[in-house]
Amino acid sequence: MGTNMSKKPALRVGIIGGGISGVALALDLCRHSHLVVQLFESAPAFGEVGAGVSFGANAVRAIAGLGLAEPYGLAADRTPEPWQDVWFEWRRSDDAGYIGASVAPGVGQSSVHRADFLDVLASRLPEGVARFNKRAVGVEQQGDEVRVRFTDGSDYVGDLLIAADGIKSAIRGHVLEGIGAAPAAPRFSGTCAYRGLIDSQHLRKAYRAAGVDEHLVDVPQMYLGLDAHILTFPVKQGRIINVVAFVSDRSQPEPQWPQDAPWVREASQEEMLRAFTGWGDAARILLECIPKPTYWALHDLAELPGYVHGRVALIGDAAHAMLPHQGAGAGQGLEDAYFLARLLSDPQMGQDNLGELLAVYDALRRPRACRVQRTSWEAGELYELRDPAVGDDEQALGATLASRFDWLWNHDLEADVGEARARLGWQTLSHCA
Check residue 5 and give its pLDDT. 44
**Which domains does the chain possess?**
2-81+110-186+301-386+405-424 (3.50.50.60), 187-300 (3.30.9.30)
Task: Work out the average pLDDT over 194-209.
Answer: 97
Nearest to 292 by CA among 278, 277, 272: 272
Check residue 37 and give its pLDDT. 98
Would you please indicate which residues are annotated as catalytic (active-site) residues? 195
| Chain segment 269-327, per-residue pLDDT in tens | 999 999 999 999 999 999 999 999 999 999 999 999 999 999 999 999 999 999 999 99
Instruction: Output the CA–CA distances (angstroms, integers) from residue 109 to 66, 218, 248, in the order listed.
Output: 20, 12, 24
Instruction: Output the CA–CA distances (angstroms, integers) from residue 74 to 22, 96, 127, 200, 233, in the order listed.
Output: 20, 33, 22, 21, 18
Check residue 236 and give its pLDDT. 83
| Chain segment 9-63, per-residue pLDDT in tens | 899 999 999 999 999 999 999 999 999 999 999 998 888 666 678 899 999 999 9
Choose the weakest-confidence range: 107-111, 204-208, 218-222, 330-334.
107-111
Q: How many CB atoms lie under 10 A from the CB of residue 126? A: 11
Residues above pLDDT 90, as percent of the chain: 85
Antiparallel, parallel or unpaired: β 98-103 and 86-92: antiparallel
β partners of residue 110: 55
Q: How far apart are CA 103 and CA 226, in angstroms?
A: 24
Task: Work out the average pLDDT over 54-76.
Answer: 92
CA 153 to chain centre: 31
Check residue 429 and give its pLDDT. 59
Q: How far apart are CA 414 and CA 150, in angstroms?
A: 36
- Give the confidence band of 151 by pLDDT, cuts at 50, 70, 90: very high
Sheet holding 76-77, edge to edge: 52-55, 110-113, 76-77
| Chain segment 402-415, per-residue pLDDT in tens | 999 999 999 999 99
Task: Work out the average pLDDT over 251-274.
Answer: 96
- Give the confidence band of 235 by pLDDT, cuts at 50, 70, 90: confident
Check residue 344 and give its pLDDT. 97
> Whole-model pTM?
0.95
Check residue 74 and give its pLDDT. 84
